[in-house]
DNA sequence: TGTACATCAGTGAACGCGCGTTCACTGATGTAC
DNA sequence: TGTACATCAGTGAACGCGCGTTCACTGATGTAC
């Protein structure tokens, strides 16, 4: 046994006290560093300062640990999206874009969770608890889309919220997975991922017929007010992409 | 040595003849089956019916094999996108959507290539040849976006083609990676990935001010003609999402 | 056309390594009396 | 309050396994003369 390991045990005694949690944290660190594929059960045990056999007291196998991480990831994801949505305050469009930014922030700040949830190859549909957690997270986006859809200007068709939610999800995931990932495979971009996604969502919403210029925070929401000069929303006058030609 | 292995060697003689190619094919099969992470050098050798040491005559290590696959993947990707674009015939919007469908088709039909290119964690930027191949593929989308941008109706701002291309790329990648992947992690969807992406792109283009109803194949392109009833494009009257409310 | 020889593309044995997993075990903790 | 005992959460040794990699080797091929 190495000196360091003895040392660690001397500090904490024979029982770890909180090994399950420590293993989850260790695995998160390893996944962030090397990807879900490159993380091993033995490595996690080592990082937690415990023998290779100890994790079996808490997880059936490596896969169960990975599922636990994905599960927890979906829960945190849901809670962050919910907070960002803030029940549509101060207005639906503003809140909606805050959700988009929260999505990217999560992918960037929690690469290990994001990896386990979306890129580990873990078949989410095969685990009912995991699938439920995944759906709860998605439902935040879906509920927001629902509210947005209800805003469709009179006379224009009302888009199905499910489709809108799937569109937004695929945009956010696409940007996150290509340009906002935490590892070496992140691709360079001539702008920030947030800007890219924000413009993308704005153009998309405009395509649905929504007025996308920001209105003062306090204004009543329905009916939509006519476009006015935007302010501090990342959308310069003339549209989300800059100057008119 | 196993009977089967002797047999195989009896059939082909001491020299394989085309081992490099056989290894690439074997690796493609393995990646499609188990993901880029779960593929091993030894496994590829076994599948090619050759000793574990043989691959070293053709690839420095496992990583070089993976890079070769990604490289070839980008080349095939580029060629399929180019064919789909068909230099913008019969009209820019139609051709542009064909590119979107080609993107998804590639992700679905060549999951191993797609995985190596976009999900293996391979740092594309670190390998100049690979980066160049990746850029050539992206440039097909970019050139198409360029042509599309030039179509902006008079008086409306002309969006930067680079941004449009990045938007389209992120949409296609998002849909492909979530809903059109070749492995068990594919998520279920209440419609086809192609339909989802096509609607998404159409709404986006409309948000940019482009008329997105299809016009007859032979019409001259600029200036844009007014919207008319769509036909056989997957976009029902009333917009990409169906009936008006 | 035949032959000697260089080169190439394989073999198979061997190595060290780390992983996953099992097992009998043991130290620590909590609790019934 | 003390003690006996059950239970829990660790240990460490051991196992089989497959991988990556190296090495001296050898069979096949191509070519110079």
Same domain, A29 and A80: no
Is A170's CB within 8 Å of B174's CB?
A: yes
Residue A74 has a pLDDT of 98
Report CA-CA distances (Å) from B57 to A37, B9, B16, B19, B46: 27, 18, 12, 9, 15
Same domain, B178 and B240: yes
Is B157's CB within 8 Å of A239's CB?
A: yes
Calculate what percentage of chain A has a pLDDT beyond 90: 60
Q: Is residue A203 part of a domain?
A: yes
- Higher pLDDT among residues A234 and B127, named by residue: B127
Helix locations, chain B, DSSP H:
3-12, 19-34, 41-47, 62-85, 92-109, 111-114, 128-149, 161-179, 193-207
Distance in Å from the first CA to the final CA of chain A = 70
CA distance B167 to B125: 20
Most confident by average pLDDT, A79-83, A239-243, B1-5: A79-83
- Higher pLDDT among residues A194 and B38, named by residue: A194
Same domain, B11 and B29: yes
Q: Is residue B79 part of a domain?
A: yes
Q: Is residue A41 part of a domain?
A: yes
Q: Is residue B221 part of a domain?
A: no
pLDDT at A140 over 60: yes
Determine the average pLDDT of the residues in A125-146. 95
Minimum mean pLDDT range among A70-74, A89-93, A220-224, B42-46: A220-224
**DSSP labels, A151-209:** TPPTTSPPPPHHHHHHHHHHHHHHHHHHHS-SSTTPPP-SS-HHHHHHHHHHHHHHHTT
CB atoms near residue A210 (< 10 Å): 21
pLDDT at A217 over 80: no
Q: Is residue B219 part of a domain?
A: no
Q: How confident is the model at residue A14 (pLDDT cuts 50, 70, 90)?
A: low
pLDDT at A235 over 70: no
Same domain, A73 and A27: no
pLDDT by position in tens, chain B (length 245): 444 555 555 556 666 778 999 999 999 999 988 888 888 999 999 999 999 999 999 999 988 999 999 999 999 999 999 999 999 999 999 999 899 999 999 998 999 999 999 988 888 988 999 999 999 999 999 999 999 999 888 888 889 999 999 999 999 999 999 998 767 788 999 999 999 999 999 999 999 988 776 544 333 444 433 333 333 333 333 444 544 43
User: In sequence order, what are the residues at sequence separation of 6 or more whose Cβ sits closer than 8 angstroms to the Cβ of residue B203?
Assistant: A159, A167, A204, A207, A208, B240, B241
Same domain, A10 and A32: yes
Containing structural domain, residue B97 = 64-213+226-245
Residue A222 has a pLDDT of 44
The Cα angle at residue B171 between residues B169 and B177, in degrees rounded to 5? 95
Residue A226 has a pLDDT of 37
Structural domains counted in chain B: 2
CA distance A37 to A174: 21
Select the residue from B38, B63, B174 to test the A interface by mutation, using most A Cβ atoms within 10 A: B174
pLDDT at A116 over 60: yes
Residue A214 has a pLDDT of 53
CB atoms near residue B203 (< 10 Å): 24
* Cβ atoms of B193 and B179 closer than 8 Å: yes
Same domain, B17 and B78: no
Residue A17 has a pLDDT of 73
Residue A210 has a pLDDT of 84
Q: Is residue B89 part of a domain?
A: yes
Residue A46's CATH number: 1.10.10
Q: How confident is the model at residue A79 (pLDDT cuts 50, 70, 90)?
A: very high
Q: Is residue A175 part of a domain?
A: yes
Same domain, B41 and B9: yes
Of B157, B178, B241, the CB nearest to A159: B241
Residue B218 has a pLDDT of 39
Determine the average pLDDT of the residues in A42-46. 95
Residue B236's CATH number: 1.10.357.10
Residue A132 three-state SS:
helix
Listed residues A59, A83, A106: the one ending a domain: A59
CA distance A51 to B33: 33
Residue A220 has a pLDDT of 40
* Cβ atoms of A78 and A140 closer than 8 Å: yes
pTM of the model: 0.85
Same domain, B77 and B190: yes
Percent of residues in chain A assigned helix, strand, coil, to nearest 5? 60, 0, 40
Select the residue from B191, B203, B209, B234 to test the A interface by mutation, using most A Cβ atoms within 10 A: B203
Calculate what percentage of chain A has a pLDDT beyond 70: 80
Burial (0-12, 13-18, 19+ Cβ within 10 Å), B155: exposed
pLDDT at A234 over 80: no
Same domain, A77 and A3: no
Listed residues B59, B85, B107: the one ending a domain: B59
Q: Which helix (H) or strand (E) element contains residue A111?
A: helix A111-114
pLDDT at A27 over 90: yes
Q: Is residue A171 part of a domain?
A: yes
Residue A5 has a pLDDT of 52
Is B121's CB within 8 Å of A35's CB?
A: yes
Residue B9 has a pLDDT of 58
CA distance A212 to A204: 10
* Cβ atoms of B35 and B115 closer than 8 Å: yes
Same domain, A45 and A72: no
A158 touches chain B (CB under 8 A): yes
Q: Which of residues 56-115 of B touch strand D (CB under 7 A)?
A: 56, 61-62
Listed residues B38, B59, B80: the one ending a domain: B59
CA distance A115 to A217: 36
Task: Compute the Cα dihedral for B223, B229, B234, B236 and give only its sign.
Answer: positive
Length A102 CA → C6 C1' (Å): 66
Same domain, B51 and B138: no
Please check whether strand C approaches the CB of B3 to within 7 Å: no
CA distance B13 to B90: 52
* Cβ atoms of A212 and A206 closer than 8 Å: yes
Length B1 CA → D28 C1' (Å): 21
CA distance B105 to B80: 10
Task: Give the nucleotide at minimum CA-to-C1' distance from A54.
Answer: D10
Is B204's CB within 8 Å of A203's CB?
A: yes
Nearest CA to B189 out of A76, A147, A167 is that of: A167
Same domain, A46 and A87: no
pLDDT digits (tens, 9 = 90+) for A145-187: 999 999 888 888 889 999 999 999 999 999 999 998 767 788 9
Residue B58 has a pLDDT of 95
């Amino acid at each position: 046994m190495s000196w360091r390991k003895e040392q660690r045990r001397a500090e904490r005694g024979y029982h770890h006290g909180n090994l399950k949690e420590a293993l989850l944290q260790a695995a998160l660190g390893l996944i962030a560093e090397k990807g879900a594929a490159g993380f091993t059960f033995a490595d996690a045990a080592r990082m937690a300062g415990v023998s290779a056999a100890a994790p079996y007291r808490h997880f059936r196998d490596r896969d169960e640990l990975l599922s636990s991480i994905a599960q927890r990831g979906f829960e945190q994801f849901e809670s962050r999206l919910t907070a960002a949505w803030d029940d549509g305050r101060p207005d639906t469009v503003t809140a909606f874009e805050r959700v988009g930014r929260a999505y990217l922030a999560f992918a960037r700040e929690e690469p290990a969770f994001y990896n386990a949830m979306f890129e580990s190859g873990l078949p989410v549909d095969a685990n009912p608890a995991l699938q439920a957690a995944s759906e709860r997270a998605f439902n935040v986006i879906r509920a927001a889309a629902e509210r947005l859809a209800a805003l469709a200007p009179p006379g224009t068709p009302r888009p199905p919220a499910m489709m809108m939610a799937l569109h937004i999800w695929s945009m956010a995931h696409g940007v996150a997975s290509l340009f906002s990932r935490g590892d070496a495979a992140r691709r360079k971009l001539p702008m920030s991922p947030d800007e890219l996604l924000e413009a993308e969502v704005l153009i998309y919403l405009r395509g649905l017929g929504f007025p996308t210029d920001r209105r003062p925070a306090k204004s009543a929401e329905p009916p939509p007010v006519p476009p006015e000069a935007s302010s501090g929303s990342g959308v310069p006058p003339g549209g989300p992409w800059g100057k008119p030609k």
